[in-house]
Every structure is written in C-alpha cells, then in structure tokens.
A and B are shown apart, each in its own frame.
Chain A
Amino acid sequence: MIKNRSKTLNSEVLRAFQTSLLVKFVTTLLLLAAIFSGLLIGVVPLNPISVFSEIINLLPLVTIESSLSELESIILWQWRFPRVLLGFFVGASLAVSGAGFQGIFRNPLADPFLLGAAAGAGLGATFLIVSNTNTLFENINLVPLGAFIGALSATVIATFVGRTAGNGPAALLLAGVATASFLTACQTYLMQRNLLSLQEIYGWLIGRISTSGWSEVSLIAPYSILCFILLYINRKELDLLRLSEEEAIALGGNPKRTRRVVIICCALLTALAVSVSGLIAFVGIIVPHIVRLTVGYSYRIIIPLSFFLGGSFLVLADIMARVVIAPAELPIGVITAFLGAPFFALILILARGKL
C-alpha cells in the first residue's frame, strides 16, 4: 500500500506547493502602477520621464538631468511622494491588521477596529477638537496624538476586560464590542455638547490622507514595516490557528504567544493608521478577503499580499479622492467604500461557492 517515492514529483502535489508567479507579478505591477500614478496624477500634472529621472537620481553614482522646475520638484518631493507613501503605509497597515485579526479570532468579519480602536481614536480626536487644546501649540497638530492614545487605550481596555473574562477569542471579541459601544457613547455625548465643532469632527472621522511633508510617513513607516515583519514571521502559526487549539499545540504551535504578538502588532498598526489618517473604513476587511477569494486562504499568502495590495488600493483610492472634484478633495473613506464595496461584491459573485 505504501508507494515507493517516484523521482519526479507528482504535478498536482507540486502545483499545490507553489505560489503562482502570476500572483507575484500582478501584485508588483499593481504596486508600481499605483505609486507612479500617485506621483504623476494631480492638479499639477508632472512629466513621467522627468519623475522617473528624479527617482533614478536617488541611486548612488547615477546622475540624470531632470526637466522638472523647482516648483514641480517641491510638489514631487514634499507633497506627492510623502502622500503616496503615507497612503501606502496606511492601507498596508489596515489591510494586514485586518488579516491578522481575522486569523486570531477565526472570524471573517473581524476588522482592524474590532478591539475598539476606531471608537477610542474617535473619542481621543473629538476630545481634542472640542476642547480647543489643538490650538495650544502653534504649528503642532495634536489631534493625531489624541487619536493614537485613544485607539491604543481602547485596545488595552478591551484586551484587559477580555482576558479577565476568559482565555478564548470570543471573550476578547465581546470585550471589544462593549468597549467600542461605551467609547462611541462618550464621543456622541461630546459631539452633542459641541455642535459647532461637528463638521471638523465629521471630517476627521470619515478619514483622509493629507500630509505636511514627511513627518506622518516617518511616524508610521518604521512601525508598519516592523509589525509586518513580525506578522510575516507568524504566518505559519496563523495557519495553525485555523485548526483546533489542541492540534495547533500538537503541531508545534504556541497559540497564546501567537495571539499576543498578533494583537500587539495589529493594535499598534491600527492606532498609527487612524492617528495619521482618521477612520478609513473597509480596507481592513475587503483586501484580505479579496486575497482569500482570488489567490488562497493560507496566511503564507494572505499576510504579504494584504500588505502590498492594501497599500496599492489606498494609493489608488487617494488618487480618485484628489481628482474627482479637483481642486477640492473628497474624503478617502467615501472612495474606499464607494469603489471598494461594488468591487468586493463582484469578487464575491465571481468566487461563488468559495464561502
């Protein structure tokens, strides 16, 4: 009954082990297309060859004459580039933390704001806007800091309540729901008491990618890369979590440690993303599902693809937000939901039977 091993690997077994080259190619192409479109498209159009020359000039020992004017150069390096990178890191962070939360909670509806990060960030930002503390320091916008502290505090509270209630993922999930409800109620109270600030709060809540130089990018990029590496290291452990707890342990996994690492990384990524861009809905839930439905369910694929596709998706959405009613801008949250929802519905229909 036990067959001798043949020298040539069976083609079906081999196919099942390979991540398609086409997938890697399409992801890279999409990422490059999104970044270049983000750099070129805007109220002031930039010459593609000049932009390409400017980028090539970054390489050591390479000097190419660029035909960009001084103003265009400032637009490229102080405005477009930071904005594209900020969009990329926010989208990548939200998408990969959505994938991480879906993995540890074994729940396809889990999103980055599951543990109350959105409500916490909302309350933190609302508090700073209505209390006018934002104007205390000239040239320093305190709202992102308030949002970051709010998001992180909400996650810590939800995690504490969840862990006190029990060890299972359900306890944590319910604790997140309770924390979010409480904080949203507090935020609604503050908003009702300060009707004059409603528009500013609403503008923040709906999410936007806007930069003033490189400060936001330098804030989010290192943590985003670090957390992505940690999640990537845990990709096989996340696959083990798709089995039962006891099987995961028997196969050499450590579900408790994995949950802890993933929660810390995802909470940090979410808090940073909301602090620099407000609440951008939908990215964290649709991007990992698009990867699942089109490429595969293994976290070996979901984690890296969610990161790069999430980033590309938000860069493209930001281009739309800038262009649709130019020179004014649409909130990016509107674009992600307006374009993302029908696209996701289409993927759902095309992949019927897979859910």
Chain B
Amino acid sequence: MQIELDNVSLTIAKSNILNGVSAKFFEGSVTAVLGANGSGKSSLLKCIAGIIPCDGTIKIPTDKFRKIAYVPQRPAIPIGMTVAEFVLLGRTEYNNWYFGETALDKDKCYQAICSLSLSKLAGRFVETLSGGEMQRAVLARAVAQEASLLVLDEPTSALDIASQVEVISYLSELQRVYQLTVIVALHDLNLAINYAQSAVLLKDGRVLGSGDTLKIMNSEKLSEAYNSQIEVTSLIDGNKMVLVKYNL
C-alpha cells in the first residue's frame, strides 16, 4: 500500500511552485523530502495533507490512511491554552457537536500526552514551553488525531542539538509503535540520511530523484540540488555522514 503522486503541479500568483511532481511514499516508512529553500518542499507537504488544492493526482488509499496529521514549520502558539487543551484540539474531528469531547476523546488525549512524556506539563500554558517541549506537544496532538499518515514540515529546524535528538527519538518511537507513515521535510541532511528510509529530492519544484535514501542522497545529486559542494562519506559504524565544503 502506498501513496502515489502523479504529475502534481501548483501555481501561486503566476509562479510555478511545483512542476509535475511524481513520487511514491511507502506505508509504514519514513520518507524525507529534501531540497534547498524555495524548492517546493513545504508546498508539496501541504498538497499531500490536503491543505492547499493542486493540479495532478494524489492517490491516498483511504482505508489505510484515514486521517492525516500535519505539523507546520512554525506551529502557532496560542496564548493561555494549556498543553491538555492544545492536545485535545487533535480530537476536534471526533467531537460531538453539542456535548464536545467524550470520555474516549479525553482518554485518547491522555494516552497521547503520556506517549510524549508530557503528563507533568499538561496544565502548563503552551507559551511557557521550551522549543523541544512545544514540538512534543505538537506531536502529541498529532497522536491524539489517531492519524496513520504524519506529514511534518522541518520539525527540528528551530531546535538545539539536544532537543533535535529528543524529538527525533520520540518521532521514531511513535512511528514504530503506531506503525505510522511519515513524510518529513528536512534541512539537516545528516539526520535525513540516517533517519529516513526513502527520500524525494526537489529542485525548483521538480523531482531530482526519489527512492531509497542511500541511492538518492549521493554527493552528485545533493551538490546539484543545493548548488554547493557536498560529500557523502561512510563512518566506521556504518552510518553515513554528509559534509559540506565551504569555499571561504
């Protein structure tokens, strides 16, 4: 079972953001969407999540992917909203119009809060959370949605190294436990090459390559996509490392 994009195009204000993007995303896997700024990563994710309409075909098997959770690049931080209320927003689609959230909604919400180790912060206002805690709250909201497809737009870009590691650990744990399909836009190429099983490389709204991460993320393709000199090397433990050469 897979998600298929066929000739997806997007034009905003006469500017071509996406030009005939075709790619496949496999069920239960992590796919990284890579590319320089302005290459169309965020727009592609929004099209997949159904937030903006686009031309072309996006085939998402509805029996497998009933709900899609989308985590934007900069999630809004509503003032005066507790973490529990924030996570509860993930249950909006399930809510009864009059009685609001049911015991089941609160239960799912509680599970999501515990999954991300947020129970001690449940009564805190979201504006008082650190970057890493906020990102965990956003992930908890996605878990509460009971989504099987998780679309994340650069979830670690505003975090320090420790928080990045923490958020990615939680993310891979969630993906494994809930058998999620994850599509994630990443700027950190080292994270992408070691975390994602497959990748879609974009340049100027077109697909430069898609498929197995190790095949796609080679020195030649990455250098072309980012207009920089990029080297991919193997470490002793088998992990890959991406090096950028600076001409200073």
Contacts and interface: CB of A to CB of B under 8 A. Distances in A.
B92 interface: yes
Nearest to A297: B80
Contact of B100 (A236, A240, A297): A236
B81 A298 contact: yes
Nearest to B122: A13
B70 A247 contact: yes
A10 interface: yes
B92 A292 contact: no
B143 to A, nearest CB: 10
Contacts of B50: 249-250
B246 interface: no
Interface in B197-219: none
A239 interface: yes
A233 B174 CA distance: 33
A251 B90 contact: yes
B111 interface: yes
Most chain B beta carbons < 10 A, residue from A247, A296, A300:
A247
Contacts of B114: 2-3, 5-6, 10
Given A10-B110, A292-B80, A297-B80, A3 B90 contact: no
Interface in B68-112: 68-70, 72, 75-76, 78-85, 88-90, 92-93, 95, 97-98, 100-101, 106, 109-111
A16 B70 contact: no
A354 B92 contact: no
A244 B100 contact: no
A25 interface: no
B170 interface: yes
A300 B100 contact: yes
B46 A16 contact: no
A243 interface: yes
Interface in A223-256: 233, 235-237, 239-240, 242-244, 246-247, 249-253
A4 to B, nearest CB: 8
A3 B88 CA distance: 19
B119 interface: yes
B75 A16 contact: no
Given A12-B120, A251-B89, A252-B92, A244 B75 contact: yes
A214 to B, nearest CB: 29
Contacts of B115: 2-3
Given A240-B89, A246-B72, A5 B122 contact: no
B78 A243 contact: yes
A236 B145 CA distance: 15
A296 B122 contact: no
Contact of B92 (A3, A16, A236, A298): A236
Interface string B105-147: 0100111011101011011000000000000000001000100
B177 interface: yes
A244 B122 contact: no
Contacts of A235: 100
B75 A243 contact: yes
Contacts of B123: 12-13, 15-16
B51 interface: yes
B69 A250 contact: yes
B95 A236 contact: yes
A16 B82 CA distance: 7
Contact of A13 (B81, B119, B169): B119
Given A13-B122, A247-B70, A354 B80 contact: yes
Contacts of B220: none
Given A3-B117, A10-B119, A249-B51, A243 B80 contact: no
Contacts of A349: none
Contact of A244 (B69, B76, B93, B101): B76
B98 A233 contact: yes
A268 B16 CA distance: 42
Given A15-B123, A246-B70, A298-B81, A253 B76 contact: no
Contacts of A246: 46, 51, 70, 72
Contacts of B92: 236-237, 239-240, 251-253
B173 interface: yes
Most chain B beta carbons < 10 A, residue from A13, A246, A251, A296:
A13
Given A2-B177, A13-B84, A292-B80, 15 more contacts: A2-B114, A10-B114, A12-B123, A13-B110, A13-B113, A15-B123, A16-B82, A16-B83, A237-B92, A240-B89, A242-B76, A247-B76, A251-B89, A251-B90, A251-B141
11 contacts: A1-B170, A3-B117, A5-B111, A13-B110, A13-B113, A13-B123, A239-B81, A243-B89, A244-B75, A250-B70, A251-B145
What 4 A-B pairs are tightest by C-beta distance, nearest first? A297-B80, A16-B84, A252-B93, A250-B70
